[in-house]
Amino acid sequence: MIKIKNIEKTYIKASVLTPVLCGITLSIQRGEYVAIMGTSGTGKSTLMNIIGCLDKPTSGQLELDGIDVYKLDDDTPSSLRNNKIGFVFQQFFLLERTTALDNVLLPFIYADKYPADAIQRAKKTLANVGLEDRTEYLANELSGGQQQRVAIARALINDPDVILADEPTGNLDSTSTAEILEIFNRLNKEGRTIVVVTHDRAVAEHAQRILELKDGLITENGTNPNTENSDIH
């Protein structure tokens, strides 16, 4: 489903070249639950951003469902982000002073067609993450864990093929972390592809496959023997 060929990314700041990814080749199958691990600055977020069409690689190729993303025009990555990818960020990125429901409805505005049953779908998705009684709450009135669940609902609303989560539990307490990881497990069991970027081994342990990044290269790429979700859909 996701194919990365020889991806390189080098940042240029004040004429200084900083290589972050140094030729990564990777393939993620539909229905897989993959964790990308590494210490700070190893390029794991950069890799996730490239997979999510948020950032462009310096060189290399990215294929999503057979589409060579960066060979197409500027609108194609936007369309892919809207249809095929759902993002969950560490900082949640909800619109403040906007209700949970409106935050979840946001991706529909940029979809090809605004569904007639948008509100029902948004409410159902919020219920799916346990927030059926918080639909009219403003984002800033919710706890961190609830905000992250709203962000997951927003990521799910367009029924994407893959969920990309960058340190999704980084700002959460242990209870909320457990809830979020439980949601990811459930989504994966339902057939959703999940890629989680984390520096936390405990979080990564929930994935079927763990990739370890070091100095811009994948140093480990193996199936997680501890997970019960080891079968690839």
- Site residues for other proteins per CB under 8 A: 49, 52, 54-55, 74-75, 78-79, 81-83, 87, 89, 91, 93, 95-98, 102, 106-111, 114, 154, 158
Task: Compare residues 194 and 210 and give the one whose CB is closer to other proteins.
Answer: 194
SS3 content of the chain, % helix, strand, coil (to 5): 35, 30, 35
CB atoms within 10 A of CB 17: 9
| Shortest distance in whole angstroms from residue 188 CB to other proteins | 21
Per-residue tokens: 135: 């639909």
Kindly tell me which of 91 and 226 has the beta carbon lying closer to other proteins. 91
Q: Which CB, 70 or 108, lies closer to other proteins?
A: 108
| 193-198 and 85-89 strand pairing | unpaired
- Shortest Å distance, C-beta 75 to other proteins: 5
Nearer to other proteins, 55 or 65 (CB): 55
Least CB distance to other proteins at residue 222 (A): 29
Nearer to other proteins, 89 or 184 (CB): 89
Burial readout 64-79 (b: 16 or more C-beta within 10 A, e: otherwise): beeeebeeeeeebbeb
Minimum CB distance to other proteins, residue 182 (Å): 24
SS3 at position 137: coil
Phi-psi region of 211 (alpha: psi -120 to 50; beta: other; left: phi over 0): beta
Q: Furthest-apart CA pair in the chain: how many Å?
A: 52
Pick 79 or 171: Cβ nearer other proteins: 79
- Residue in the block written with tokens 């927030």: 131
To the nearest 10 degrees (0 to 180), the angle between helices 144-156 and 174-189 is 20
- Closer to other proteins by Cβ: residue 150 or 210: 150
Three-state DSSP class for residue 95:
coil
* Cβ at position 115, least distance to other proteins in Å: 10
Provide the pairing of β-strand 16-28 with 2-13: antiparallel
The minimum distance between CB 100 and other proteins, in angstroms, equals 14
- Closest approach of other proteins to the CB of residue 49, in Å: 5
Beta bridge partners of 220: 212
